[in-house]
Structure 1
Amino acid sequence: MSSDHHDSKLAHHFDDLEQQFDANKFGMWVFLLTEILFFSGLFVAYATYRSNHPDVFQYASQFLDTNLGAVNTAVLLLSSFTAAWAVRAVQLGQKNLVTTLLGITVLCACGFMAIKYMEYSHKYHEGLLWGNAEHSIFKENTADVASSVREHGHHWGDVKDLDPEFRRQTGIFFGIYFCLTGLHGIHVLLGIILMLWLMRRNMRGDFSPEKYDAVDCGALYWHLVDLIWIFLFPLLYLIS
């Protein structure tokens, strides 16, 4: 291909758009693999502690709000659908629809973070923080926590008499909870920035049925974010 006819959307070191698309997508898959390896280490830590202390994890998970977790799961599944639809829309040259679908994806992501903020705020007011949960859960005069325990069928007298080692291991559960969900939340925030960037580029006319690799790679990243949460929800919220 001569330089006079070289596509303006084609980088100089590629022969054609198809080769460029394949290279970009391969690079994205490699990046996603590193993300999977990153979270795998945390999942191994989770599996190790849970296998050694199954009763602790089952008890501590009852302080998580399953309903909010389920809503967040539904929200992310919807956002994954709109992200995939956006890829199809750009393939069909439907520019306005692409912008709309990416916008819905951003709104879903913001909704997810809002719900997660509600959960974190609740944990903060109960004192269920990293390194502090074992004291707050078992503090006899903490009315909110006592109420939460009673709602799940436990007697407060049984809780306060638990041995110190059980209390310490319960704190480890919340440490893992905040580590996993916090890092996932950071990835959601990065996904919001990515989708807004794609929206801006789409409105500028950077994408076409022949050149849409950025949208495709962005959707792949978002699918990984959704997939990680699909694992986190049952592992953290549905233990009991």
Structure 2
Amino acid sequence: MSETGLPATVETLRRVREDPHRLGHRSHGSEGPVEGAGHGETGPASKRIIVGYGFWIFLLSDIVMFSCFFAAYAVMQGATAGGPRAHDIVEIPRVALQTGALLLSSYTCGLSFAATNARSRLWTQVFLLITGLLGLAFVAMELQEFISLAAQGITPQRSGFLSAFFGLVGLHGLHVTVAGLWLATMMAQVQVKGFRPETVHRLICFNLFWHALDIVWIAIFTIVYLIGGIS
């Protein structure tokens, strides 16, 4: 029996439900706080907890930045200065293909981490490579769109709407490009260092970042291309 009067197994399950990641005050079979969790006499939190918390702060700050660009687009979408509107420059079939590539890359990214959990270096690398190639295809199609628009004289300085359009879509494309460089770095680390704890944690952060970019793109695809293309 535990100190709460419950059977030991029930008490253990209760604690796991309350604190599934064991970041709270007690660990299994211990009366003291978890070492490195940042509670009182245990000292500062471990590097894993600090880095994880910092990365979530980074993601939230990135979402705030994207929110500002969405707000600017909402304000400027009617400021065309006699130039083209959204429905004049949107090519739904091409953007749908672009979206499909990015969403598929999100699926393969998830498979890569499943392979990481299974400690399969080969399949982790295979799925990371597929994810990177799909991301590269996405960026290439977006770059092709920008070059095609520029060739028609449709550039950011032509109107407030186009400034907001290129700013929002281009910001996302820049993020995907940086994420692709990060992905290549992670592939090199997995190949050289294997599945060290710090490498696995970096892969977790990368997965969070990549999936966040997919969510942002769904919002861009819906607001800028679908709604803008039919309005």
What is the TM-score of this pair, normalised by structure 1?
0.70
Could you say which residue in structure 2 is the equivalent of 1:107? 133
Structure 2: distance between partners of 1:129 and 1:39: 21
Partner of 1:127: 153
Determine the structure 1 residue equivalent to 2:52: 25
Q: Considering only aligned residues, what root-mean-square deviation do their CA atoms show, in Å? A: 2.6
Q: Is the 8 A contact 2:132 2:180 kept in 1?
A: yes
Q: Distance in 1 between matches of 2:46 and 2:106?
A: 27
Q: Distance in 2 between matches of 1:87 and 1:119?
A: 32
Whether 1:199 and 2:187 are equivalent positions in the alignment is yes
Given the alignment of the two structures, is residue 220 of structure 1 paired with residue 208 of structure 2, yes or no?
yes
Shift of 1:22: 3.6
| CA deviation string 1:151-182 (max 9, x = no partner) | xxxxxxxxxxxxxxxxxxxx222111100111
Are residue 84 (structure 1) and residue 72 (structure 2) matched? Answer: no
Q: Which moved more, 1:206-215 or 1:97-106?
A: 206-215
Work out which of the residue numbers 203, 221, 233 in structure 1 matches 2:221.
233
CA contact (8 A) 1:83 1:105 kept: yes
> Structure 1 residue 39 and structure 2 residue 66: aligned?
yes
Give identity over the alignment, percent: 29
Whether contact under 8 Å (2:73, 2:168) holds in the other structure is no
RCO higher in 1 or 2 (8 Å CA, sep ≥ 6)? 1
Aligned equivalents of 1:177, 1:59: Cα separation in 2? 10
Gap runs ≥5 in structure 1: 1-13, 133-170
Number of residue-to-residue matches in the alignment: 186
Aligned equivalents of 1:117, 1:209: Cα separation in 2: 37
CA distance in structure 1 between the partners assigned to 2:142 and 2:198 by the alignment: 38
- Taking structure 1 as reference, are residues 31 and 76 closer, same or farther at Cα in structure 2, changes over 3 Å only? same
Distance 1:191 1:237 in 2: 23
Alpha-carbon distance between aligned partners in 2 of 1:69 and 1:176, rounded to the nearest angstrom: 18
Is 1:60 aligned to 2:60, yes or no?
Answer: no
1:186, distance to aligned residue in structure 2 (A): 0.9
Q: Which residue of 2 aligns with 1:141?
A: none
